[in-house]
Amino acid sequence: MAGLTFRELDLPGVVLVGSVPTPDERGSFGRTFDQAAFRERGLPVDVAQESVSRNLRTHTLRGLHGTLAAMPEAKYVSCTRGRIFDVVADARPGSPSFGRWISVELDDARDEQLFIPAGYLHGFQTLCEQTIVRYRMMVPFDPDAFEGAHYASPSLGIRWPAVPSIVSPRDLALPAL
């Protein structure tokens, strides 16, 4: 029977959730969500919204985004088409890991999703054309609560895979962390 794996990463509360597919002659079948298994590991299960980001070009960069103070937002992120370099940065004031970041590659072949707790910033860079990224958010998005940090914040020192091909004007205008 298809199952799930849960791997805690190097930032508190950030978890990589993987699907363990069952293969057969048709292909495979895997579970990507199991309410009881998620709850057992302390992960949220009440999803308020799901969104999709379609990215046309390789090295498109989105982020670093979050809703930190007004309405903290936890989310699950997965890559359903293509491949991304996904980054999570701790932006929680007073946190022992404030300013630290981690990265993982997510792609459409591994059926993994990254859980990002409230108080963290998130961004990604596409590693191929026609990349699709899905977000499942625990609270409804509030554009008035949007916060973020510039993807090239010197204090973070994120090593992106390539010079971005596209960054939105809003993301370019974000302050350094």
pLDDT in tens, 108-166: 998 899 999 998 999 999 999 999 999 999 988 877 778 899 999 999 999 999 999 99
The answer to whether the beta carbons of residues 15 and 9 sit under 8 Å apart is yes
Which run of H or of E encompasses 36? Answer: helix 35-40
Please tell me which residue, 2 or 79, carries the higher pLDDT value. 79
- At 29-54, the pLDDT tens digits run 889 999 999 999 999 999 999 999 99
Q: Which CATH architecture has domain 3-172?
A: Sandwich (2.60)
76, 120, 135, 151: which is the annotated catalytic residue? 135
Is-cis flag, bond preceding 127, omega within 30?
no
Catalytic residue status for 65: yes
pLDDT computed for residue 129 by the predictor: 98
Task: List the chain domain ranges.
Answer: 3-172
Catalytic residue, from 65, 76, 120, 150: name it: 65
Q: What is d(CA 169, CA 177) in angstroms, rounded to the nearest whole number?
A: 17
